[in-house]
Amino acid sequence: MAGRHRLVAGNWKMNGLHEDGAALARDLGHRAVAAARPGGEPLGCELLVCPPAALLATVGPALAGSGIALGGQDCHAAEKGAYTGDISAEMLCDSGCSHVILGHSERRHGHGETDPQIRAKVVGAWRAGLIAILCVGETRAEREAGRAVAVVAGQLAGSTPDGAAPETLVVAYEPVWAIGTGLTPTAADIAEIHAAIRARMPDGTRILYGGSVNPKNAAEILALADVDGALVGGASLKAEDFWTIARACG
C-alpha cells in the first residue's frame, strides 16, 4: 500500500436531521482532534463524511478544524441550469465539499443511472475541483453467474473518463447484494475484485471496500493488500462504530 494513504468515508445516505447530524459530526470531530494531539493515538487514515445535501451547511461547520473532510452523495453533470431537485458539483464545492460519491448502486439501480451518465458526473466533479469516489459492483445474480469481474470491469471502463489520476479519483467496490444486508463477500472474493480493479486503474489509485462494513469485519477486510479503506453506510451513523472502523486501518 506504499504511497496510497487510506481513506474511510461515511455515507449517511438519506438519514439525519439538523440536530442529530450536528451532534454526530461534533462527536467525530472531537475524536479526531483528540487523536491528533500530542500523546493522542493518530489514525492511520483520512476521514470523510458525506451527509445528505440538506445537512452540508450544518455538518461542515461542526467538522471545522477537525481534519475530517466533507463530501456530497451525488451531483449533476452540468454546472447549473433547469434541473429541478439536482445539485451541481460547484454547489457542493461552495458548501465546503472536497469529495463526491458517484455511481453508487442505489443510483445505478434505484434511479437507472447509466455508465455514460456517471462518467459525465465524474467530469463535472473534476471541473469543480472535487475528488470523485466512483462506485462499482455486481448484483447477486451476476456474481452467481460468474460475471462479477466482467461486470465491474465494464462499469469501470464505461464510467471512468480519460485523464483519471489518483489525485482526482477514488474507486469504491460495493457488491450490490451486500449493501445494507449484513452479508459480505469472502476475503478471497474481495481480494479478487480489488486486484482486478487495481490492474485496470492508474498506479496509486485508492480502492475502497463498501457493503455492510462494520466494527466486527473491518479489520479483516482492511488487512487485504489492495483494500485502501472503506465506504461505510449504516455504521457511519454511529460515532463509536465509525471510529472503530477507522481505527482498524492501523
Which residues are designated catalytic? 104, 174
Backbone angles phi, psi at 20, to 5 degrees: -75, -30
End-to-end Cα separation, the chain, in angstroms:
13
Residue type, 198: R
For residues 241 and 10, give the distance between their C-alpha atoms in angstroms, rounded to a whole number.
11
Place of cell 443510483: 107
CB atoms within 10 A of CB 40: 12
For residues 143 and 147, give the distance between their C-alpha atoms in angstroms, rounded to a whole number.
6
CB atoms within 10 A of CB 151: 19
Q: Cell numbers at residue 239, please?
A: 460515532
State how far Cα 249 lies from the chain centre: 15
Strands (E) located in the chain: 7-11, 46-50, 69-72, 99-102, 131-136, 169-173, 206-210, 229-232
Residue type, 95: S
Contact indicator for 74, 101 with CB cutoff of 8 Å: yes
